[in-house]
């Protein structure tokens, strides 16, 4: 286990905006940062980060918490993994207490697969640099490709010996289980035999955005028509190729800084461009581009330039990918290299400044590129030209932004020499057809017998629990103003000279948490929601011991479920910043300003609700004849109604 002193050191050093900025493109918004949610598919920002409070909140998914919670949600780390990641990022040495055999045995399978991949990466690197065959075959190949020693080490390139089970036997000897080696795809098991998947190949480790090794790509070096030139790790619990972009770990900071992503086809394209100084480059690793991969890019930038050689098949594949990119709302450009060149070869032959100039000058808007490519095919064939125009309109229809659609239609009209009205009409027909399809899409099959009851139960579950809402608001008040001092009205029942009762009000100065705690104690009110109750007690204990509440430190001590709720309550006011109400001349009250009346009225509303509940309980006793002493119960009801009227007077409400 990691020592608490190390954990505290990590939390002190880690900056939530810096860590999240490695995964999400953040923009300044007042004292906070905002960006697109990394957990949902959205086009308007609903993700907020507070550097002051060192917490984040995703309003689209409801998730939130501190820097460790983000890594656990986004990278699927467990708690120790998240701490180790941050320690590595901030150069902090990890001190651990000795683990028992039982604790070691409890390491989950997913972590074991990661460890095997890390072991494999180190093994392949060692084979490349420290064995004769590795140097003469693997290292020679990389050097021939123009990779420097620094680049080879940076991308952890390696070599798998051309021996049937060299890696598998080494891993087993080191204590790794064969069934887990098989799950990673590094070893293939058949009957009583096992052998290495990547034998005789140079190795390209594939990393997650945070740098964990997920899988591998391997290129064969010998001539063998039966063997695939490139081979990737199969799908596994830690590697899903449709959700991974090769090189993203190395490109993410440059992508956010340059506000652009260059998309290429292969591993060597990424590495060679990176070595040439163009670092914001990623690849889909030889697979067709997917929506999940595009969303990874969208977290960091909305601008993408697709790079590929002049190969006809490559261009066709690129066009299919472009339509997917457009549908996600990104701005797309296309850059083709001269005949016989690709990003790898071009980067090898030219200095950085020339490459940047080429990419800037030769990049075409997708509409110009697609039109020029398709027009070559249609040439003097009117029918083919009509099909080309329909193809263009179908691409434009995928763009979610209506203004962009209009601009592209105008450009298409100019290039294709066709009236804008015809294009608008085609677009309208296309979108109407899509709407009809969506409208007539088969509905979900009706629920089996008892389904209506399920619907009713769901409707009941969504009913707001007023007491829980008031309890939650009390926690909100404690989080924001708990240590602040305010002037509160205290009301007492006194008697005049004739023995008549009257309310006497005094102004007293108290801290907010004292006011809430004393009032709830006086009425013996206990929270009914278990999570709210636990957080309330923790807040009161903390505020009793400190002069001010350190939100980041407080959240650190909470269970994940409790931490997420607290983050939501703390960040809720920031949601108004996302809506930009001031632009519409709607001004929201600054949450930093304490309103003593809000504290008083929240307590009174809770008291009023509990009194109403008590009266209803007593009335039920009378109606159900469960009690013989009706007169006593009615007297209690009368007393409670008097209390109810007094609370109503304080709230200025009519009962």
DSSP symbols for 274-301: HHTT---EEE-TTSPP-HHHHHHHHTT-
Residue 586 has pLDDT above 60, yes or no: no
pLDDT score for 414? 87
pLDDT score for 458? 44
User: Are 334 and 306 in contact, with CB atoms under 8 Å apart?
Assistant: yes
DSSP symbols for 577-634: HHHTGGGGT--PPPTTS--HHHHHHHHHHHHHHHHHHHHHHHHHHHHTT--S-HHHHH
pLDDT score for 447? 38
**In 3D, which of 254, 259, 298 has the Cα closest to residue 280?**
254
Q: Binning pLDDT at 50, 70 and 90, where does residue 171 land?
A: very high
pLDDT score for 303? 94
Structure token digits, residue 13: 């050093």
pLDDT digits (tens, 9 = 90+) for 348-368: 999 999 999 999 999 998 888
Domain positions in the chain are 4-104, 110-239, 367-435, 466-576+590-651
Q: Which has the higher per-residue pLDDT, 222 or 628?
A: 222
Q: Binning pLDDT at 50, 70 and 90, where does residue 48 land?
A: very high
**Burial class of residue 32 (count of CB atoms within 10 Å of its CB; 0-12, 13-18, 19+):** buried
* Residue 246 DSSP code: B
For residues 271-276, average pLDDT: 97
Listed ranges 44-58, 492-506, 628-642; the one with the highest mean pLDDT = 44-58
pLDDT score for 484? 87
pLDDT score for 486? 85
Q: Distance between CA atoms of 592 and 479, rounded to whole angstroms? A: 11
User: Are 222 and 212 in contact, with CB atoms under 8 Å apart?
Assistant: no
Q: Which H/E stretch holds residue 523?
A: none
pLDDT score for 488? 84
User: Are 494 and 505 in contact, with CB atoms under 8 Å apart?
Assistant: no
Q: In this structure, are strands 303-308 and 331-336 parallel, antiparallel, or unpaired? A: parallel
The pLDDT mean for the chain works out to 83
For residues 603-616, average pLDDT: 79
Measure the CA angle with vertex 72, ends 69 and 73; round to 5°.
85
How many residues in total does the chain contain? 655
Torsion sign across C-alpha atoms 120, 126, 131, 135: positive
The label of the residue with tokens 């509303």 reads 605
Bridge partners, residue 303, by sequence? 331
4-104: CATH superfamily: Zinc finger, CHC2-typedomain (3.90.580.10)
Residue 256 CA, chain-centre distance (Å), reads 16
CA atoms within 13 A on the CB side of 564: 13
Q: Distance between CA atoms of 603 and 520, rounded to whole angstroms? A: 8
Residue 636 has pLDDT above 70, yes or no: no
For 65-74, 245-254, 484-493, which range has the lowest pLDDT when averaged over its residues?
Answer: 484-493
Q: Binning pLDDT at 50, 70 and 90, where does residue 124 land?
A: very high
Q: Which has the higher per-residue pLDDT, 55 or 633?
A: 55
pLDDT digits (tens, 9 = 90+) for 307-320: 977 666 666 666 77
pLDDT score for 121? 97
For residues 92-102, average pLDDT: 73
pLDDT digits (tens, 9 = 90+) for 467-510: 888 888 889 888 888 888 888 877 766 777 777 766 677 888 88
Q: What's the N-to-C CA distance of the chain in angstroms?
A: 59
Structure token digits, residue 134: 């590795």
Structure token digits, residue 120: 């494999």
Q: Binning pLDDT at 50, 70 and 90, where does residue 151 land?
A: very high
110-239: CATH superfamily: DNA primase, catalytic core, N-terminal domain (3.90.980.10)
The label of the residue with tokens 């083919």 reads 384
The label of the residue with tokens 């709607």 reads 586
Q: Which has the higher per-residue pLDDT, 62 or 373?
A: 62
pLDDT score for 79? 84
pLDDT score for 588? 45
Question: Are 4-104 and 110-239 the same fold in CATH?
Answer: no
Q: Distance between CA atoms of 184 and 238, rounded to whole angstroms? A: 8
pLDDT score for 9? 92
Q: Binning pLDDT at 50, 70 and 90, where does residue 628 land?
A: low
Residue 1 has pLDDT above 60, yes or no: yes
Q: What CATH topology corresponds to 367-435?
A: Pheromone ER-1 (1.20.50)
pLDDT score for 311? 66
pLDDT score for 502? 67
């Amino acid at each position: 286990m990691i020592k608490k002193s190390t954990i505290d050191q990590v939390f002190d050093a880690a900056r939530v905006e810096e860590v999240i900025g490695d995964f999400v493109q953040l923009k300044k918004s007042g004292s906070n940062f905002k960006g697109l949610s990394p957990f949902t598919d959205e086009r308007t920002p609903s993700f907020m980060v507070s550097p002051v409070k060192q917490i984040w909140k995703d309003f689209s998914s409801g998730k939130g918490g501190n820097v460790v919670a983000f890594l656990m949600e986004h990278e699927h780390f467990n708690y120790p993994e998240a701490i180790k990641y941050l320690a590595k990022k901030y150069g902090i040495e990890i001190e651990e207490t000795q683990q028992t055999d039982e604790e070691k045995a409890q390491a989950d399978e997913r972590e074991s697969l990661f460890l095997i991949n890390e072991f494999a990466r180190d093994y392949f690197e060692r084979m490349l640099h420290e064995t004769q065959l590795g140097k003469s075959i693997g290292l020679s190949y990389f050097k021939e490709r123009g990779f420097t020693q620094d680049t080879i080490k940076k991308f952890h390139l390696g070599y798998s010996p051309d021996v049937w089970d060299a890696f598998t036997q080494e891993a087993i000897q080191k204590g790794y289980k064969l069934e887990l080696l098989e799950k990673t795809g590094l070893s293939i098991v058949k009957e009583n035999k096992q052998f290495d998947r990547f034998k005789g190949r140079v190795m390209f480790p594939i990393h997650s955005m945070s740098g964990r090794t997920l899988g591998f790509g391997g290129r064969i070096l010998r001539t063998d028509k039966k063997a695939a030139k490139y081979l990737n790790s199969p799908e596994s619990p830690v590697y899903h190729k449709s959700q991974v972009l090769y090189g993203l770990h190395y490109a993410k900071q440059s992508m956010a800084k340059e506000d652009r992503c260059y998309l290429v086809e292969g591993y060597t394209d990424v590495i060679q461009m990176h070595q040439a100084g163009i670092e914001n480059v990623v690849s889909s690793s030889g697979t067709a581009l997917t929506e999940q991969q595009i969303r990874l890019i969208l977290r960091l930038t909305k601008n993408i330039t697709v790079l590929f050689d002049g190969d006809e098949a490559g261009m066709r594949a690129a066009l299919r990918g472009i339509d997917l990119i457009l549908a996600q709302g990104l701005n797309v450009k296309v850059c083709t290299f001269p005949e016989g060149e690709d990003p790898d070869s071009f980067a090898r032959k030219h200095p950085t400044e020339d490459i940047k100039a080429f990419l800037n000058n030769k990049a075409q808007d997708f509409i110009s590129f697609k039109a020029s490519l398709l027009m070559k095919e249609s040439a003097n064939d009117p029918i083919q030209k009509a099909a080309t125009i329909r193809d263009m309109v179908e691409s434009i229809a995928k763009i979610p932004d209506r203004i962009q659609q209009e601009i592209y239609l105008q450009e298409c009209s100019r290039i294709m020499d066709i009236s804008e009205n015809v294009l608008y009409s085609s677009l309208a027909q296309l979108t109407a057809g899509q709407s009809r399809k969506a409208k007539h899409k088969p509905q979900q099959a009706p629920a089996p017998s008892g389904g209506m009851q399920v619907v009713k139960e769901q409707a009941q579950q969504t009913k707001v629990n007023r007491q829980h809402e008031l309890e939650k608001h009390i926690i909100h008040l404690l989080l924001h103003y708990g240590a602040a001092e305010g002037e509160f009205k205290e009301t007492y029942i006194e008697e005049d000279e004739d023995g008549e009762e009257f309310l006497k009000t005094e102004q007293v100065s108290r801290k907010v948490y004292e006011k809430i705690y004393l009032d709830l104690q006086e009425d013996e009110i206990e929270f009914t929601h278990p999570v709210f109750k636990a957080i309330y007690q923790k807040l009161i204990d903390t505020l009793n011991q400190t002069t001010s509440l350190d939100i980041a430190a407080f959240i650190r001590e909470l269970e994940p479920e409790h931490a997420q709720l607290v983050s939501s309550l703390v960040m809720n006011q920031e949601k108004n910043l996302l809506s930009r109400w001031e632009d519409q001349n709607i001004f929201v009250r600054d949450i930093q300003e304490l309103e003593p009346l809000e504290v008083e009225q929240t307590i009174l509303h809770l008291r009023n609700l509990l009194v109403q509940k008590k009266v209803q309980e007593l009335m039920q006793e009378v109606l159900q004849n469960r009690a013989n002493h009706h007169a006593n119960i009615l007297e209690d009801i009368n007393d409670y109604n008097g209390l109810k009227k007094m609370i109503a007077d304080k709230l200025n409400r009519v009962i």
